[in-house]
Amino acid sequence: MSYELAEQDLAHIRHVLDYLECSTRYVYEVEGGAVASLNYWRGRVRMTLVMPLLPMHIEKQAKALLCRMDSLEGMHRREGTSSNARSPSAH
């Protein structure tokens, strides 16, 4: 993969994360597979990070995306915990 294609791929992944961050509750309740999906996107970012002689600006973009994925995954865990903690009468 060329560096130009790597940047395009990271831009695409950035847009996917934008969507997931804006619609987290809906995605997790309806699609249920968003966490597994994050693993797929994380793998694509890691493929970029192993490219030889990767320019620093692309490496920074990739690492920032991984941090966003970690944050999104943590948000899902917190929401899952809080919704499981509610009693049936609280609905």
- What tens digit of pLDDT does each residue of 10-54 get? 999 999 888 888 875 655 554 556 656 888 999 999 999 999 999
Domain boundaries, the chain: 3-86
Distance (Å, whole) CA 71 – CA 88? 29
- What tens digit of pLDDT does each residue of 55-83 get? 999 999 999 999 999 988 877 666 654 44
Roughly how many angstroms between the first and final C-alpha of the chain, as a whole number?
Answer: 50
Of 8, 73, 81, 61, which Cα lies nearest the Cα of 37?
73
